[in-house]
């Protein structure tokens, strides 16, 4: 036991890597994040960003889309080859195609320029919250049925014996669906629980990630057997607990 005069070590604040070819953007982001206690490092192109990810091991990357030579999408693809670090895309584009492309490549969220200091800090905190490891079950592996299991220690789904690693957001979404198996979880509830309260009206995010999950776990994503859509209401996960109980009674 430590003597009472010895204080606990200070908390380590998250390290943020800001990747942008515009010095004024980096300066704006640095000032506002450091005011909130974040530590900030920077890179000015994709190759420098990749080097920083490997050497500094930041907690999150803020990545500009429009950069010369290697754009943000290609930089994201390279990062995803070596790391699952959370990535928040910074962009002047606001088209759905660009957002979907970034999310398909593994981005965790988007923020559109110009953005306020409050929105910046809120988005960074939201991404960090939902990409934290979650272990919601006492048992490390939960068997849904003979085909599908979920490993809560590793964040993987096991389908017919084959393991597949989920992205942190996919995992959190699946967890909330499983925890409420048999019940319809409203859109707003899932968005608030998985992404944060500030995302409660962003139904397009939810639909996109439901599609991702279905592609991961369903035998036929167009005819789901695990994740059901309750139109105008929310989503419902297969009530495996009732099925297991009825099987035991037999």
CB-based contact 243:135 (threshold 8 Å): no
Check residue 68 and give its pLDDT: 85
Check residue 1 and give its pLDDT: 39
DSSP characters over 87-124: EEEEES---HHHHHHHHHTT--EEEESS--HHHHHHHH
Q: Any idea how long the chain is?
A: 250
Q: Quick one: what percent of the chain has pLDDT higher than 90?
A: 54
- Where the chain has pLDDT below 70, the residues are 1-12, 133-139, 243-250
Check residue 35 and give its pLDDT: 94
Check residue 247 and give its pLDDT: 54
Q: CATH number of the domain at 141-249, out of 3.40.190.10, 3.40.50.300, 1.10.640.10, 1.10.10.10?
A: 1.10.10.10
Check residue 246 and give its pLDDT: 57
CB-based contact 102:205 (threshold 8 Å): no
Listed by start position, the domains of the chain span 15-130, 141-249
Pairing outcome for strands 141-143 and 148-151: antiparallel
CATH code for the structural domain at 15-130: 3.40.50.2300
- Residue entry with tokens 């319809």: 184
d(CA 165, CA 185): 24
Report the SS3 class of residue 17: strand
Check residue 12 and give its pLDDT: 65
Check residue 36 and give its pLDDT: 94
Check residue 133 and give its pLDDT: 53
Q: How far is CA 203 from the centre of its chain?
A: 15
Check residue 62 and give its pLDDT: 97
- Residue entry with tokens 């109980």: 245
């Amino acid at each position: 036991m430590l003597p009472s005069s010895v204080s606990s070590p200070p908390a380590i604040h998250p390290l943020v890597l800001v990747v942008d070819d515009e010095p004024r953007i980096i300066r704006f982001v640095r000032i506002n994040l450091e005011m909130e206690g974040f530590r900030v490092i920077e890179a000015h192109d994709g190759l420098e960003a990749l080097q920083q990810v490997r050497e500094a091991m930041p907690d999150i990357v803020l990545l500009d889309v429009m950069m010369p030579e290697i754009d943000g999408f290609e930089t994201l693809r390279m990062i995803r080859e070596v790391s699952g670090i959370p990535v928040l895309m910074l962009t002047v584009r606001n088209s759905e195609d660009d957002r979907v492309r970034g999310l398909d490549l593994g981005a965790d969220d988007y923020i559109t320029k110009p953005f306020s200091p409050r929105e910046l800090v809120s988005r960074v905190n939201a991404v960090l919250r939902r990409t934290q490891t979650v272990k919601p079950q006492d048992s490390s592996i939960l068997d849904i049925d003979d085909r599908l299991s979920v490993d809560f220690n590793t964040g993987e789904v096991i389908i017919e014996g084959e393991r597949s690693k989920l992205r942190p957001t996919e995992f959190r979404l699946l967890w909330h669906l499983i925890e409420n198996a048999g019940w319809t979880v409203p859109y707003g509830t899932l968005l608030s629980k998985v992404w944060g309260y500030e995302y409660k009206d962003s139904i397009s995010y939810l639909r996109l990630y439901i599609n991702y999950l279905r592609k991961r776990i369903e035998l036929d994503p167009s005819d789901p057997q695990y994740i059901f859509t309750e139109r105008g209401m929310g989503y419902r996960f297969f009530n495996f607990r009732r099925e297991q109980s009825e099987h035991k009674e037999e």
